[in-house]
Amino acid sequence: MAFDYDLFVIGGGSGGVRAARLTSILGKKVGLCEEYRMGGTCVIRGCVPKKLMVYASKYSQDFKDAIQYGWSNDESYRHDWALLQKKIEDEVSRLSKIYSNNLQKAGVELFSDRGVIIDENTIELKNSGRRITAKHILIATGGTPFVPDIPGAEYVMTSNEIFLLKEKPESVLIVGGGYIASEFACIFNGLGISTTQVYRGAQILRGFDQDMQDSVSEAMVNNGIDLKLNTDVSAIEKTDSGYCVTLNNGDVKTVDQVFYATGRKPVVQDIGLEAVGIKLDASDAIVVDEYSKTSIDNIYAVGDVTNRLNLTPVAIREAVALVDTLYNDKPTAMDHNDIATAIFTQPEIGTVGLSEADAVAKYEHVDVYKAAFRPMKHILAGKDEKMVMKLIVSAQDNIVRGCHILGEASGEMIQLAAIAIKMKATKADFDATCAVHPTASEELVTMKEPSKKYR
Ligand code: NDP
């Protein structure tokens, strides 16, 4: 049977775009539909605008530090929220256009529409009503913020709205202790907004190495964030002067905005999954095999909608592996091990591989190397904030199983450390590597004695 397309992609985010472009370049007929703006969460309301806000928010500390380095503070610095929002929107639009242009240059046919699966080979475009047939369908619809059902949930902002805020709030209460909540607590605080972060657990960034969790949380509090652990929100009411938030410990706080970052859920509603019986797991993510195939033979899914590891580079790699599998005669399963990630808190965290706790659970003999020190830059600036570096080594074979860094540029450092870890470098390999001086990262190759030995 002849189909309109070899591949039809639903969703124009990181995963969908990469799969569409690579497949089209191979000479296949490819279509892609996106109902909102091309680029998905990463470009439109995630990584890109967030990182620009991180840059913006760091200047307040840099200005303070600069005085300690001899600069005078003759001007009083003020932040222009509207200017920043406009510049971020311009950059997001520029990138979104580049995504569309690159797809079109590669020969992909684009549809600004919502795609709904009708049967195994048919997609209906919801607005136009047009029906399209395809040999393979790729679902790359991503994720969307989840807000728990509390009284007043209708008043909260999520990461979908945060980049559209026209006016700078004077105070924000953030709920959650994950990536987004912690990163935005630091962004708001750096931009001079009075920031409260409320997290239901004992320590933010659950699942990361405990030293990273504890040290970043301490630094965030020292930097002025009002972090309330073991606390949750009971109700939110709108008042004349903002939002009145009642906490489960009875405290009440009135703020200009309430921002929920309590996780994300896969976008699986109203795209026709039930029409063909695509299986979902308990968290409503599409179940796929190691080659990203759903429970239906010719339908695939990549990225956050599969809830494997919800990171842009992972979605891209899953898409590349899929194209190799389907069209390059090279069945490729995505390797989800040892994927490095950065949390752009202030200070930021770079991490790859096993945490100390996970390593101890997995290996009988573990050596932990840890350095905690004031980096040179902070000494003159008069800041107590410490940089922390850890190597987690399985002692039987001396292989470095985890690397965790807290401090300036750790997101950049961890990318390189991840290569060594992916190559199964041993602690002896780290020791044999000569230091780069004077840097903070030299500590990674100069930690001689384990700070802890598990036997
Ligand atoms: P996370 O899963 O990281 O964190 C969700 C947070 O919300 C957790 O602290 C969780 O608590 C809390 N939470 C969940 N449900 C409730 C509830 N009902 N009431 C109160 N608190 C709740 O999600 P994020 O939204 O922060 O980020 C989503 C994903 O996006 C991340 O996992 C990551 O994969 C990706 N991301 C990556 C970034 C990066 O690479 N720098 C940046 C931003 C996002 P608990 O810990 O107790 O479960």
The pLDDT tens digits of the residues spanning 33-51 come to 999 999 999 999 999 999 9
Q: Is the pLDDT of residue 76 over 90?
A: no
Range(s) of the chain covered by CATH 3.50.50.60: 5-145+265-327, 153-262
Cβ-based neighbours of 7, under 8 Å, separated by 6 or more: 19, 20, 23, 28, 29, 30, 31, 134, 135, 136, 137, 138, 326
User: pLDDT tier at 135 (50, 70, 90 boundaries)?
Assistant: very high
What pLDDT digit, counting tens, does each position of 316-344 carry?
999 999 999 999 999 999 999 999 999 99
Q: Is the pLDDT of residue 75 over 80?
A: no
- Round to whole Å and give the CA distance between 293 and 302: 9
User: pLDDT tier at 210 (50, 70, 90 boundaries)?
Assistant: very high
What pLDDT digit, counting tens, does each position of 426-453 carry?
999 999 999 999 999 999 999 999 999 9
Nearest CA to ligand 1 atom 39: 343
Q: Please name which of 319, 279, 315 lies closest in space to residue 295, comparing C-alpha atoms.
A: 279
The amino acid sitting at 298 is N
The predicted model scores a pTM of 0.97
> What percent of the chain is modeled with pLDDT above 70?
100
> What percent of the chain is modeled with pLDDT above 90?
98
User: pLDDT tier at 74 (50, 70, 90 boundaries)?
Assistant: confident
Spatial contact of 415 and 340, defined as CB atoms under 8 Å apart: yes
Query: Is 336 one of the annotated active-site residues of the chain?
Result: no
2 alpha carbon to ligand 1 midpoint, in Å?
Answer: 44
Interval 415-421 mean pLDDT: 98
Q: What value, to the nearest 5°, has the Cα angle with vertex 412 and ends 60 and 90? A: 60
- DSSP string over 285-346: PBP--TT-B-SSTTEEE-GGGG-SS--HHHHHHHHHHHHHHHHSS-------SS--EEE--S
Per-residue confidence (pLDDT) for residue 233, from 0 to 100: 98
Tokens of 43: 């470009």
Q: Is the pLDDT of residue 351 over 80?
A: yes
Report DSSP state, residue 385: P
CA dist 252 → 152, 232, 262 (Å):
14, 12, 20
Nearest atom, ligand 1, residue 201 CA:
47
224 alpha carbon to ligand 1 midpoint, in Å?
Answer: 22
* CATH of span 341-454: 3.30.390.30
Supply the mean pLDDT for the chain. 97
Residue list, ligand 1 pocket, CB within 6 Å: 148, 175-181, 183, 199-201, 206, 232, 261-264, 310-311, 341-344
What pLDDT digit, counting tens, does each position of 357-382 carry?
999 999 999 999 999 999 999 999 99
72 alpha carbon to ligand 1 midpoint, in Å?
Answer: 41
* Residue 310 φ/ψ, nearest 5 degrees: -85, 75
- Round to whole Å and give the CA distance between 304 and 148: 19
* CATH of span 153-262: 3.50.50.60
Q: Is the pLDDT of residue 1 over 90?
A: no
Interval 384-402 mean pLDDT: 98
Nearest atom, ligand 1, residue 262 CA:
7
What pLDDT digit, counting tens, does each position of 12-36 carry?
999 999 999 999 999 999 999 999 9
Nearest atom, ligand 1, residue 181 CA:
26
Cβ-based neighbours of 98, under 8 Å, separated by 6 or more: none
Interval 402-409 mean pLDDT: 98
| Residue 299 burial class via C-beta count within 10 angstroms: exposed 0-12, middle 13-18, buried 19 and up | buried
Range(s) of the chain covered by CATH 3.30.390.30: 341-454
Per-residue confidence (pLDDT) for residue 77, from 0 to 100: 83
The amino acid sitting at 359 is A
* CATH of span 5-145+265-327: 3.50.50.60
